[in-house]
C-alpha cells in the first residue's frame, strides 16, 4: 500500500527581514528545510522532533498547503501538494498552537457550526457530527458556553474537535497537549493512539517538544535539525542508534573496585539492610562476565536490571553529535 504522506527532497527558504536589514537594505536567505524526504503510512503516528528553528513548523505548513516548497515534490492521499492543494485541504485536519481563528463571542458549538458549513456540512448530518466530535474530545458540557469563557485546555480541545469535523484522513497536530493538564494530556494521548490511529486508521503527524510524550505515543520519530532530517527511526531503535551500551542498575552487598572505576559508575541511595545500589553503562555482552566477576569476588548480586534510556538523553546526544560535541 502506498504511503498516505510522501515527501521527496522538499526544500524551503525565506528572506529574513529585521529592522536592521530594512535600514541597511541588506537581506539574507534563511534555509528552513533542505532536501527533506519522508513517508508516513495509514494509521501511523509520526513524531516530529527538533530544537527551535529546526524547520518543524515550516514542514507542517507545507503539509497543510499553507506554504509552497521552493523545490521537491509531495503528495497526501495520492493528491499532489502543488497542483491539488484545494482537494488536500478536505483530507487534512490541522491543530496549531496559539490558534486565534475562533470567534470569542460565539459558543463552542456555534464555532463548530460555522466551520462545519465551510466543509459543506448541513442539516442533521452537521448537527450529529458536531455532537460526535464534542463527545470525542470531552467538552460536550461546555459546548454552549462562549468561547471567551473557555480555559486554555478547553480551547485546545475545541481546536482538536474542529480538526476532526470533516473526518480527515490525515491529522497535523502541532504541540496539541501544550495547554492541557497532565490528566487531560494523558487522555488525549490514549485517544490519539487507540481511537484515531488504531481504530479509525488516521495518519498522524505529531509535532512536539515533549520527548517522553513522543516516546509513549509515536510509532516512528523523525528529528529535524537545521532543516534536515538527521534521524528517522522507531523509538526503540533510536535509543540504540548511538551504540550498543546500556545502563544497568545493580543491587550488591559491596562495590568492586573495577566497577567503581568505570567512568559511568553512579552510586544510588542504599536499598535496605545495607545493600548498595548503583548504575553503570555496560556493553550488553559484558553483563554475564561482570556478574561472574562480582560473585567470584564474594559479592552478593541481589539485582541486575537494564534501564531503558530516556528519549531525552538520546535526543541530546544526537544533537550534540551533529554539533561535533562529544
In a domain, 317, yes or no: no
Q: Are residues 229 and 265 in the same domain?
A: no
Question: Do 59 and 134 belong together in one domain?
Answer: yes
Average pLDDT, the chain: 86
Lowest model confidence (mean pLDDT) among 32-46, 71-85, 246-260: 246-260
Q: Are residues 254 and 178 in the same domain?
A: no
How large is the average pLDDT for residues 276-288? 85
Q: Based on the fold, state whether residues 257 and 282 are members of the same structural domain.
A: yes
DSSP at 246:
E
Q: Which three cell numbers stand for residue 93?
A: 485536519
Residues 22 and 139 in one domain: yes
DSSP 8-class letter at 114:
H
Q: Which tops the pLDDT comparison, 134 or 286?
A: 134
Burial of 288 (0-12, 13-18, 19+ CB in 10 A): exposed
Average pLDDT estimate for 199-206: 93
Examine residue 326 and state whether it is found in any structural domain, yes or no. Answer: no
Global pTM value: 0.74
Residues 143 and 227 in one domain: yes
Last residue within a domain, chosen from 189, 210, 238: 238
**Residue 173 is assigned to a structural domain of this protein:** yes
Buried b (16+ CB within 10 A) or exposed e, 101-123: ebeeeebbbbbbbebbeebebee
CATH number of the domain residue 250 falls in: 3.30.70
Query: Could you list the residue range(s) of the whole structural domain that residue 263 is in?
Result: 245-307
Amino acid at each position: 500500500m502506498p504511503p498516505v504522506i510522501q515527501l521527496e527532497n522538499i526544500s524551503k527558504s525565506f528572506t529574513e527581514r529585521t529592522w536592521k536589514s530594512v535600514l541597511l537594505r541588506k537581506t539574507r536567505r534563511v534555509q528552513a528545510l533542505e532536501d527533506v524526504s519522508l513517508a508516513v503510512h495509514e494509521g501511523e503516528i509520526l513524531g516530529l522532533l527538533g530544537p527551535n528553528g529546526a524547520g518543524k513548523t515550516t514542514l507542517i505548513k507545507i503539509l497543510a498547503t499553507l506554504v509552497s516548497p521552493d523545490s521537491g515534490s509531495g503528495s497526501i492521499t495520492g493528491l499532489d501538494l502543488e497542483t491539488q492543494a484545494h482537494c488536500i485541504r478536505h483530507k487534512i485536519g490541522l491543530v496549531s498552537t496559539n490558534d486565534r481563528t475562533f470567534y470569542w463571542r460565539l459558543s463552542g458549538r456555534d464555532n463548530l457550526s460555522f466551520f462545519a458549513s465551510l466543509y459543506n456540512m448541513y442539516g442533521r448530518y452537521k448537527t450529529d457530527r458536531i455532537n460526535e466530535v464534542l463527545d470525542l474530545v470531552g467538552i460536550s458540557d461546555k459546548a454552549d458556553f462562549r468561547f471567551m469563557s473557555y480555559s486554555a485546555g478547553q480551547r485546545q480541545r475545541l481546536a482538536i474537535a474542529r480538526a476532526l469535523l470533516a473526518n480527515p484522513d490525515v491529522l497535523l497536530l502541532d504541540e496539541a497537549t501544550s495547554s492541557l493538564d497532565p490528566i487531560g494530556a494523558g487522555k488525549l494521548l490514549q485517544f490519539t493512539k487507540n481511537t484515531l490511529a488504531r481504530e479509525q486508521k488516521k495518519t498522524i503527524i505529531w509535532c512536539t517538544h515533549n520527548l517522553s510524550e513522543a516516546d509513549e505515543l509515536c510509532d516512528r520519530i523523525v528529528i529535524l535539525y537545521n532543516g534536515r532530517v538527521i534521524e528517522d527511526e522507531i523509538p526503540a531503535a533510536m535509543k540504540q542508534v548511538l551504540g550498543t551500551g546500556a545502563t544497568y542498575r545493580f543491587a550488591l552487598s559491596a562495590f568492586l573496585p573495577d566497577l567503581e572505576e568505570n567512568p559511568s559508575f553512579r552510586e544510588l541511595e542504599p536499598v535496605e539492610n545495607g545493600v548498595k545500589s548503583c548504575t553503570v553503562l555496560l556493553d550488553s555482552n559484558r553483563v554475564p562476565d561482570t556478574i561472574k566477576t562480582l560473585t567470584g569476588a564474594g559479592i552478593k548480586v541481589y539485582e541486575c536490571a537494564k534501564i531503558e534510556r530516556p528519549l531525552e538523553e538520546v535526543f541530546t546526544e544526537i544533537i550534540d553529535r551533529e554539533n561535533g560535541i562529544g
